[in-house]
Amino acid sequence: MVFPTVEVFDVSLPLSEQLAIWPGDPKLSRTLASSIARGDIANVSHLDLGAHTGTHVDAPFHFVDSMSGIDQLPLDALIGPCLVVEANPPGTELRPQDLPETEHRRILFKTRNSARWASSPSEFDRDFVGVGLELAVRLVQRQVLLVGVDYLSVEPFDAPRPHPVHVTLLEARIVVVEGLDLSRVEPGEYELFCLPLKLVGSDGAPARTVLVRRSTP
C-alpha cells in the first residue's frame, strides 16, 4: 500500500506585541493574570487585542451593518480546496488579469507582501498590494467563496471610502481572509483550513490558517 505524502504549511502570522497592526487598531498585549512565579497555582494569560490582529477573517458585519457576524460564517467556505495564485502587479492593485481561469472557488493571492513578513514584521507598510475594485467585481462574477491576501487588508491602503472592495466582497458573502504569510508556499493547489474564533456577533476574528498538500510517491 502506498501512502500519500502530506505537507502542512502554517500560513498564520505569529501573534506577539511586536507584530504590525493596522494604524489605529488596538495593540496586542498579553499579561499574566495569575503566575506560578508569583505563587499562583497556574499561569493564566490575559489578552488584549483587536479582532483584526494578525491573520484574521472579516465578517460581513465589518463593513455592512445589517449583515452577519463572524460566528455565522459557513464552515464549508472556510475549509476545502484552494488555489494559491502568485501575482506581482506594477502598482498596489491586483487586477482582473491577475486571476487565472480556474474552477477553484477559494483563491489566495501571494504577492511581494509575503516577503515583508520575514524582513520587517513589526513595521506597517502602506505600500502593500491589495485587490482592486475591478478584480473584486470579477471575483463576485466567478462566484468565489473565499479570497485571501498576504497583508492586513484586502484592498490597498489608499482605497477610497467607504472601502468599495470590502463592501463588494462582503455584500456578496465572499469570505475575506487577511494577513496570510505565504512566503514558504509555492503557487498551486492545496486544501485550506481556516478557522476564526467563534466570537458571537463580532466583525472579525483571528484565525489559525493552514494549507495541506498531498502527493503520491
User: Where residue 102 sits, what CATH number does that domain have?
Assistant: 3.50.30.50
Q: Contact, 157 vs 118, CB < 8 A? A: no
In a domain, 25, yes or no: no
pLDDT tier, 31 (very low <50, low <70, confident <90, very high otherwise): very high
Domain annotation covers residue 30: no
The verdict on whether 62 is a catalytic residue reads yes
- Give 126's pLDDT tier (boundaries 50, 70, 90): very high
- Whether 189 has a pLDDT exceeding 80, the answer reads yes
Within-domain flag for 161: yes
Q: Using alpha carbons, select from 129, 135, 117 the residue that is nearest to residue 180.
A: 117
Q: Is residue 125 part of a domain?
A: yes
Is the pLDDT reported for residue 48 higher than 80? yes
Mean pLDDT of 36-44: 98
Any domain includes 184: yes
Cis bond before residue 96 (omega within 30° of 0)? no
Contacts of 167 (CB under 8 A, 6+ apart): 63, 64
Residues β-bridged to residue 109: 85
State the Cα angle at 215 between 214 and 217, rounded to 5°: 145
Q: Is residue 118 part of a domain?
A: yes
Which of these is catalytic: 52, 62, 104, 166? 62
The CA distance from 203 to 181, in Å, is: 22
The predicted structure's pLDDT at residue 2: 74
| DSSP state string for 53-67 | SSSEEE-GGGT-TTS
Amino acid at 184: R
Residue 87 maps to a domain: yes
Q: How many domains is the chain built from?
A: 1
Structural domain boundaries, residue 148: 5-14+50-215
31 occurs within a structural domain? no
pTM (2 decimals)?
0.96
